[in-house]
Amino acid sequence: GLAIGLSLQGSLANLAAGVLLILFRPFTKGNFVEAGGAMGTVENISIFTTTLTTPDNKEIIVPNSAVLGNNITNFSARPTRRVDLVFGVSYGDDLRKAKQLLEEIIAADERVLSDP
């Protein structure tokens, strides 16, 4: 009896977490999330596991107890997102010209908001 109870402990935790994920929906299929130590696009949410596809096209199957046991970051929850980019400029380069060029590229990109 004790051995059966211990062996079912993980499965029952995943089942309970799966029910909570389906009820409370912190993310849905198609969202890009970081959850359970993995990051990717949600492909499937089942009773026991959540399946993610990483940006490099790997499939990750995460137990639902791990998903709910950690922080969940849903990058798709809001219509806009801030992205910080770092650019290297050589010591010999003209900083004003580099800044002007980056500002022109940003102004031409329709995805960049003028007033974030």
Tell me the pTM: 0.72
Residue 38 in any domain: the answer is yes
Please tell me the predicted confidence (pLDDT) of residue 59. 98
Q: What's the mean pLDDT in 4-21?
A: 60
Split into its structural domains, the chain has a count of 1
Q: In what order do the strands lie in the sheet with 59-63?
A: 59-63, 49-53, 38-45, 32-35, 72-74
Residue 86 in any domain: the answer is no
Residue 81 in any domain: the answer is no
pLDDT digits (tens, 9 = 90+) for 55-112: 999 999 999 888 888 899 999 999 988 889 898 999 999 999 999 999 999 999 999 8
Range of the domain at 64: 2-74
Residue 28 in any domain: the answer is yes
Residue 12 in any domain: the answer is yes
Residue 105 in any domain: the answer is no
Please tell me the predicted confidence (pLDDT) of residue 25. 84
43: domain CATH number is 2.30.30.60
Residue 99 in any domain: the answer is no
Extract the tokens encoding 65.
């107890």
